[in-house]
Amino acid sequence: MNITETFGHHARAVPDRPAIVHGERVVLYRDLDALVSCTAAHLYSLGLAQGDVAGVALKDSIEHLVILAAMARAGIVILPLDWRWTPAEQERVVSHFGARMVLTEPGKQDLKGVACVVVGPDWNALIEKKSAQQSFPGGDLPLLMSLSSGTTGRPKGPRIRHSQFLARYRVFWINLGFNSQDRFLSATPFYYGGGRTFPLTMLYSGGTVFMLPPPYEPEALCEAVTKYRISSIFLVPTLIRRLLTLPAEKLVPIRSLRLLLSSGSALHAEERRTLRALCPGFVEYYSSTEGGGVSFLTAEDPDSFSESVGRPVFGVEVQCVDENHLPLPARGIGRIRYRGPAVADGFWNDPEASKEAFRDGWWYPGDLGMLDESGYLYLKGRSKDMIIRGGINIYPGEVEAALQSHPAVADSAVVGWPSREFNEEIAAFVILRGTATPGELRDLCKTRLAPYKVPREVFVVKDFPRNTLGKVIKADLSAGLAPLG
């Protein structure tokens, strides 16, 4: 039970089929199985062992994808880290999950309290010296720390096991049609859950992964679809919105896709309708890192359901419940919960958060929703303050902490700002006790946070709306923000 167990079969059955293609570089299936074993052996030689947690803070590359597969084969638990994070952001996550080592890009600053290994120009030469005959562990091992909250003061994420990952693969095969003949364009960063999971599914299935690492222009994506005869692609809504800015003639290659998959955050109803008309293979996939797929909407679903996120995926039961955890009748709005073989068991090393989000075998993703009489699910907002910008989870507390590190800031409050491009942008409100300009505060955030966590605007106010206990009423702050076009 390992997500790399099929690689040996592919080496025998389709040895000359490309497994991974990046520009002029090609890894054939005849070579992939041995390459993954040699890489896993090299990871052991660096001091890692079965059960260890290792951070991966790399740009998208063939090496990155092979390392993910090698860690899976070696029984090393993958801890995804965005290479764009500041050292402080990475250190918080590394410390919480107890990573023994972090694989980094050349020229990146070392992290405190953990060994860092550079994946540089000599990496492949080191791999070639290792034996592919190393023995590796079996069984249903932990595979991945599936981060859900990025780099907050208390990161959250369950350890996803191989069996739970394979259950997600079954949904991809049954509901999304992934298969060994697919030519998949990897155009979303591996740091994203889907950006990482779908290419790994392709390799398990014997399809071909063509890499187009961001950043790129929308035109380049369309050209890649034509050049490589792409059949399937996954894009977060932000990337899809950029694609839709192109004139109709530029989008002709998109019409040929068997599968145009959107996930990460919800699309607007009019965007769904546009995509349904543009590409017969369009699918919106509602999912979470902790539980995998929830529901899916295809271009074949009737137009009358285009404001929904579809019906439940294979093997998953979905409910909307009230505050007493009792199922609501059709069209009753409540907390979404779901269960199935792909759902994690709980947050690692965080029983308090697990008790709140995992209950009686159900996972509560933090969304509000409604099920209609036909079983279609509609999202109705979030039950917490988390901001989802372009598919990435951002917690206000982290941005607020960065703002309040400035001596002139007495208090701060960060909220989501409705945005057509990103679903939500970040708006920050501050109360000053000294002198500071909005530009100065944004510059401070740029030094302490990844670029996508920097507020779009910082508004200076005299006070915040508060309840009788003094708690800031963030809904009142959000209500004053006009949606961004």
Distance CA 298, CA 276 (A): 8
Distance CA 297, CA 262 (A): 10
pLDDT, one tens digit per residue, over 86-131 is 999 999 999 999 999 999 999 998 999 999 999 999 999 999 999 9
Residue 61: how many CA atoms within 13 Å on its side-chain side? 15
Cβ atoms of 60 and 187 within 8 Å: the answer is: no
Cβ atoms of 147 and 157 within 8 Å: the answer is: yes
Q: CA dihedral defined by 353, 358, 364, 365, rounded to 10 degrees? A: 60
Q: Which domains does the chain have, with CATH numbers?
A: 7-377 (3.40.50.12780), 387-479 (3.30.300.30)
Nearest to 28, CA basis, from 3, 11, 6, 9: 11
Q: CB neighbours of 397 closer than 8 A, spacing ≥ 6?
A: 152, 153, 414
Distance CA 230, CA 207 (A): 11
pLDDT, one tens digit per residue, over 356-396 is 899 999 999 988 889 999 999 998 867 777 788 998 878 78
Helices (H), 258-390: 269-278, 351-357
Q: CB neighbours of 371 closer than 8 A, spacing ≥ 6?
A: 318, 319, 320, 328, 330, 331, 377, 378
Distance CA 158, CA 156 (A): 7
The model's pTM: 0.85
Burial class of residue 251 (count of CB atoms within 10 Å of its CB; 0-12, 13-18, 19+): middle
| Largest distance between two CA atoms of the chain | 70
pLDDT in tens, the chain (485 residues): 899 999 999 999 999 999 999 999 999 999 999 999 999 999 999 999 999 999 999 999 999 999 999 999 999 999 999 999 999 999 999 999 999 999 999 999 899 999 999 999 999 999 999 999 999 999 999 999 988 644 444 788 899 999 999 999 999 999 999 999 999 999 999 998 999 999 999 999 999 999 999 999 999 999 999 999 999 999 988 889 889 999 999 999 999 999 999 998 778 778 888 999 999 999 999 999 899 999 999 999 999 998 899 999 999 999 999 989 999 999 998 899 999 999 999 999 889 889 989 999 999 998 888 999 999 999 886 777 778 899 887 878 789 889 989 999 988 999 999 999 999 999 999 999 999 999 999 999 999 999 999 999 999 999 999 864 456 888 899 999 999 98
